[in-house]
């Protein structure tokens, strides 16, 4: 069964989200595009919460969130229990976010990185695996209290 990947962005991430949607649609992933669908100004928390709910309910296995910097959208997503959103600016961070942090949401800055680098980051995020062991204990200590 293909992994279900939800995408969501605000206006600052719209162009990069469209570019990633096109490249991911050529792969084996099932893509769920939660918007936004135009460059009209929207509030990034609304999109972040919608994507986080898709993770919480199991509608999506992983998510990719994009705003201008990736900062606001990661802050909002991380308010949800069970969501571990990682803002990454290079492929190494993306790999480690999976291996050590079991991140289930990747956050990107559409005004920070270009589409080529974003594709490399996404590839690492979607293919690297959580290593478990001592890292499970540590991520248990992250949960909301
Ligand atoms: C929107 O202008 C911008 O604030 C948003 O995309 C994001 O960068 C917030 O963190």
pLDDT digits (tens, 9 = 90+) for 77-121: 999 999 999 999 999 999 999 999 999 999 999 999 999 999 999
Strands (E) across 4-124 are located at 4-9, 30-33, 62-67, 85-87, 105-109
List beta partners, residue 86. 106
Answer yes or no: is 10 within a domain. Answer: yes
Beta bridge partners of 67: 109
- Assigned domain for 94 exists: yes
Q: Does a structural domain hold residue 112?
A: yes
**What's the pLDDT at 1?**
83
Which atom of ligand 1 is the closest one to the Cα of 72?
Answer: 10
**Is 72 within a domain?**
yes
The CATH number of the domain where 41 resides is what?
3.40.1400.10
**Residue 13 alpha carbon, nearest atom of ligand 1:** 6
pLDDT in tens, 18-28: 999 999 999 99
* Domain containing residue 55: 3-140
Select from 107, 98, 108, 110 the least CA-distant residue to 139. Answer: 98
Per the domain annotation, does 145 fall within a domain? no
Ligand 1: centre distance to CA 11 (Å): 8
Per the domain annotation, does 93 fall within a domain? yes
Domain assignment present for residue 46? The answer is yes
Number of domains in the chain: 1
Is 42 inside any structural domain? yes
Radius of gyration, CA atoms only, the chain: 14
Ligand 1, atom 5, lies closest to the CA of: 68
Helix (H, G, I), strand (E, B) or coil at 87: strand
């Amino acid at each position: 069964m293909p992994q279900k990947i939800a995408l969501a962005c605000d206006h600052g991430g719209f162009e990069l989200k469209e570019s990633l949607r096109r490249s991911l649609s050529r792969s084996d992933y099932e893509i769920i595009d939660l918007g936004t669908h135009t460059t009209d100004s929207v509030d990034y928390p609304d999109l972040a919460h919608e994507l986080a709910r898709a993770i919480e309910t199991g509608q999506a296995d992983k998510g990719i969130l994009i705003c201008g910097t990736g900062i606001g959208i990661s802050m909002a997503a991380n308010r949800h229990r069970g969501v571990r959103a990682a803002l990454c600016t290079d492929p190494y961070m993306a790999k480690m976010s999976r291996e050590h942090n079991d991140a289930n949401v990747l956050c990107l800055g559409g005004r920070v990185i270009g589409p080529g680098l974003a594709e490399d980051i996404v590839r690492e995020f979607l293919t690297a695996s959580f290593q478990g062991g001592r890292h499970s204990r540590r991520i248990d200590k992250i949960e909301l209290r």
